[in-house]
Amino acid sequence: MTATGLEPFSLPLSDPLETAAGTIDAREGFLVRIEVAGEVGVGEAAPLPGWTEPLDACRTALERALEAGHREGWEAAFEELALAPAARHGVSLALADARSRAAGVPLYRHLGGDRPVEYVPVNATVGDGPAVETAAAARRAVDAGFGCLKVKVGARKVAEDVERVRAVREAVGEGIELRADTNGAWRRTQARRALSAFAEYDVAYVEQPLPADDLRGLHALRGGPVDVAVDESIAKAGIEAVLAAEAADVAVIKPASVGGPDLAREAAGQALSTGVAPVVTTAVDAVYGRTAAVHVAASLPRVPACGLATADRFAGDLAPDPAPVRDGEIKVPQRPGTGVEPPGDGGLGGG
């Protein structure tokens, strides 16, 4: 096994991404290329503020890991990546891509998927505009074939968000699954009030209704008509702590922020074993990381609609997309590896 390349990239977003840690205008990171048995695998390491290590720490961890891998083997490389999930994602994805190419199987089968899967259901995300604007965006998503919508909430007063959710439900009708995502913006009294009101509009779950470290509060919210999902809590505390605290009905798992497709699938398995539903999402990744997340979802025995329809966040990408979205589903590539063509010898990608 040979580490053959590390190259930085920067991809502008079509629209700024609002996160709990601030606004992001571009996704920056590194492409990692590793050769196994004559096959080249490509990994993507793109830190996301609030979820992973910073960019500089990612680069340092990658350089140390690749040096250790070349000198002592990949077990030594992973020891250098224990505190750098974005960097670990890049290395583990590159290895998994190369190994599945060498084995002649798509990545989801290499990860442990035991049956052919051609499509995975996905949700559309609706922003946090005024009620009329939000309802119109929801209607467009349904017209495009989406059967599941995630509405961003938490930036406004609870009463305004309730009105927005009501407007969306009236616009899309009863047959569409609705979810809401606060990114940890509420406190306990706000969350209880919101979940109680959302129940009238058949909201399936609210994602991260409380700050990431409030596992006790998240546990207390469970048991009502609206389920509790966690995202940032997994990045902050780990899936084991979330499950031990019984803090979630749904685990939102980002392969890029938990340390790679292997650890993401492991976390999803842990969730399933305790009756918690895993939902695989991207961290607004470029094509290599995004397609890897599709494979993780496809490798699971059962999966609800996932947050994988994020390619349109970018004005351009690092390579052609082998996993397009149509009618509320994303295509699972069936070629060996991720299905994303590795870059040629002249470079690892654009940006």
Rg of the chain in Å (alpha carbons)? 20
Place of tokens 């918690």: 276
Q: Which residues are catalytic?
A: 152, 254
Give the CA angle between residues 296, 103, 300 to the nearest 5°. Answer: 20
pTM: 0.94
CA distance linking residue 350 with residue 286, whole number of Å: 11
User: What is the per-residue pLDDT for 349?
Assistant: 42
Gap between the terminal Cα atoms of the chain = 27
d(CA 268, CA 242): 12
Query: Hey, what domains does the chain have and what are their CATH numbers?
Result: 2-104 (3.30.390.10), 119-331 (3.20.20.120)
What number of CA atoms fall less than 13 Å from residue 125's CA on the CB side? Answer: 20
CB-hemisphere CA count at 13 Å for 130? 2
Task: Write the DSSP assignment of 105-127 as a string of letters.
Answer: SBHHHHTT--S---EEEB-EEE-
Tokens of 351: 């940006």
DSSP 308-324: ---GGGBSS-SS--S--
CA distance 160 to 81: 43
The contacts of residue 176 (CB under 8 Å, 6+ apart) are 142, 146, 147, 148, 149
33: which strand partners? 5, 42
Tokens of 103: 């084995």
> Rounded to an integer, what distance in angstroms lies between the CA atom of residue 332 and that of residue 121?
10
Q: What is the pLDDT tens value at each position of the chain, 351 positions in all?
A: 555 679 999 999 998 876 666 678 899 999 999 999 999 999 999 999 888 999 999 999 999 999 898 888 888 889 989 999 999 999 999 999 999 999 999 999 999 999 999 999 999 999 889 999 999 999 999 999 999 999 999 999 999 999 999 999 999 999 999 999 999 999 999 999 999 999 999 999 999 999 999 999 999 999 999 999 999 999 999 999 999 999 999 999 999 999 999 999 999 999 999 999 999 999 999 999 999 999 999 999 989 999 999 999 998 999 999 999 999 999 999 999 999 987 654 444 443
